[in-house]
Amino acid sequence: MQTSFQRSLLLGGLALFCLLSLILAPQALHRVYAQGYTDQTTQGKRIVVSISQQELTAYEGDKEVFDTLVTTGRSQLPTPTGTFHVIQKLSPTWFHSPWPKNSKYYYPPTYINYALAFKDGGFFLHDATWRSSFGPGTTDDNQGSHGCVSMNLESAKWLYDWAPVGTTVQIE
């Protein structure tokens, strides 16, 4: 009888440990990604996004190595400005709307091929295969993103392959 009780207690503790691991581990890992990166580990790579030009430019040191048109956030859900770092890379992944189905901002589960998180809260550089155009004029309140920086599939793949976790992301 005592063995059965001990076994139940052990299994219950193990189940609790697994549950807590599922809840807490992603948060802990997410924060670790953003720490300890320098120009040496990212090879001086940086990504600059111009909201006014709707353009993303990639640099190695001072040398421009890539350029593409993007679509950034609509006026009610703007892309944050400032200096960030790639904190996580996902390929492939699904985005799920944080807004309820009755919200004007809701979107159905969306498949993304290449996503680079640059800020907690769901801010990514990613492909947007549902869009046919990017660049100036694509951020009105019907077309703009929900705060992310979106681009065509080929550009997102190039950026995903080129930028390691820790790469500086400047959004201005």
User: What residue type is 92 in one-letter code?
Assistant: P
Position with higher pLDDT, 17 vs 5: 5
Active site residue 126: yes
- pLDDT for 42 equals 85
Q: Average of pLDDT values for 45-70?
A: 98
Catalytic-labelled residue, pool 18, 85, 96, 126: 126
Nearest to 120 by CA among 85, 75, 73, 145: 85
Active site residue 18: no
| 62 DSSP 8-state letter | T
DSSP states of 106-152? ----EEES-EEEEETTTEEEEE-TT-S--STT--STTTSBSS-EEE-
Q: Is the pLDDT of residue 41 over 80?
A: no
Give every CB contact of residue 38 below 8 A, 6+ residues apart in sequence. 166
Q: Is the pLDDT of residue 17 over 50?
A: no
- pLDDT for 35 equals 53
| 96 DSSP 8-state letter | -
Distances from the Cα of 151 to the Cα of 121, 135, 145, angstroms: 20, 9, 11
Catalytic-labelled residue, pool 18, 30, 96, 148: 148
Question: 17-21, 52-56, 58-62: lowest mean pLDDT where?
Answer: 17-21
How far apart, in whole angstroms, are the C-alpha atoms of residue 48 and residue 96?
A: 26
Position with higher pLDDT, 154 vs 19: 154
Q: Which CATH number fits domain 46-171: 1.10.10.10, 2.70.70.10, 2.40.440.10, 1.10.150.120?
A: 2.40.440.10
Confidence grade of residue 23 (pLDDT, cut at 50, 70, 90)? very low
- pLDDT for 31 equals 38
